[in-house]
Amino acid sequence: MSAESPSCGACHKQGSDTLKHCSRCKNEAYCSTECQTQHWPTHKAHCKRPNYILKFHLCPGTITDPPIWRTLSCPADATFQALHKALQIAFGYASIHTYDFRIKDMEAERQLEEEDSDITNYIMRMSNAIGDVEQQYVGARSFLRIVDPDTMKYIDRMHMGSRRHKETPEKMANRLKLHQVLDDPSYRDAPLQYEYDFGDCWEHQMTHMSRADNATDCFQCTDGEGHGVAEDVGSTDGWKNLKRAYRNQRPNKEQREKMKWFESFTTNMDPKGLGNGRDKVWPKVEINSRLEKMVGK
């Protein structure tokens, strides 16, 4: 049953060089398609896609000291909606805004950047976008955009139009499983980004680290760094200012108000604040206990 097995899983013929692994679980090998087909009714019960080890880094390069990232072991059969839920738990958000995943086309991004080096092009594009309801998106085309099925619930739906590009296909996050994207060779090497809250624009860059040895039913947070950001803090600058307030020996009135807001009022408030190095603290044990109880793949 192991990947090292030198014999065919069905007829047990030796010959490790010519055996082909089951493409789904990689745990079983066969000498021929006939053997694989014959063995499938038995193998089916054990054949599971191993988890993906995915790292999500929040605004890398902009949020530093400390950086904020989490690594998760993710079931391959989970949907992107479930991944969103897991990321909300892992980063400590309150799930009060909408989100999307985007598989970026770096060539399209580069082209747009080149066009925009002529400022006239940029201004024309922005002003066209305001008048054209069909084609409002002001960014580059992507390979795929994976969207929140519950998007109409949230206030940031007003930014929806600006996220759409007429040449970017869209799929619903609850209808798409991780392996359908992550194992698709046409998206290989294309960066994937998870964006939450189209007002504060929390961009999480995904890195596909590896495949796990096992397949599990729930997400697990294996590593990370940095306290998650406050909802509605005012994006990366607002977060920087909040940390600055906590580091100030004599915070001014505005800073004291901001700290009080973070400890008592914002939707993902932290009553302990960020003082004494707490901006580096993140609750791994609590995250994993919540991930274990998380319902809905």
- With b for 16 or more beta-carbon neighbours within 10 A and e for fewer, the 65-102 pattern comes to eeebbbbbbbbbbbbbbbbbbbbbbbbbbebbbbbbbb
* Identified binder of Zn ion from the candidate list 8, 68, 74, 178, rule CB under 5 A: 8
76 touching Zn ion, by CB under 5 A: no
Residues numbered 28-67 forming contacts with Zn ion, rule: CB under 5 A: 31, 35, 47
* Identified binder of Zn ion from the candidate list 20, 25, 129, 255, rule CB under 5 A: 25
Least distance from C-beta 215 to Zn ion, angstroms? 10
Picking from 105, 283, 113, 81, the residue whose alpha carbon sits closest to that of residue 194 is: 81
Contact 86, 72 (CB under 8 A): yes
- Of 19 and 221, the one with the shorter C-beta distance to Zn ion is 19
Unique residue bearing structure tokens 């901001």: 258
- Of 37 and 264, the one with the shorter C-beta distance to Zn ion is 37
- Of 23 and 120, the one with the shorter C-beta distance to Zn ion is 23
- Of 7 and 207, the one with the shorter C-beta distance to Zn ion is 7
Q: What is the CA radius of gyration of the chain?
A: 23
Among the candidate windows 8-16, 113-121, 192-200, 244-252, which touches Zn ion by CB under 5 A? 8-16
- Of 49 and 243, the one with the shorter C-beta distance to Zn ion is 49
Picking from 54, 52, 55, 35, the residue whose alpha carbon sits closest to that of residue 43 is: 35
Binding residues for Zn ion, how many (CB under 5 A)? 9
229 touching Zn ion, by CB under 5 A: no
Among the candidate windows 6-14, 151-159, 190-198, 203-211, which touches Zn ion by CB under 5 A? 6-14
3-state secondary structure of 73: strand
User: Distance (Å, rounded) from C-alpha 158 to C-alpha 207?
Assistant: 29
Q: How far, CA to CA in Å, does 241 sit from each of 24, 39, 235, 259, 274?
A: 48, 61, 10, 10, 12
- Of 5 and 193, the one with the shorter C-beta distance to Zn ion is 5
10 touching Zn ion, by CB under 5 A: yes
∠ at Cα 119 (205, 158), nearest 5°? Answer: 50
Among the candidate windows 4-12, 57-65, 86-94, 167-175, which touches Zn ion by CB under 5 A? 4-12
Residues in the site for Zn ion, rule: CB under 5 A?
A: 8, 10-11, 22, 24-25, 31, 35, 47
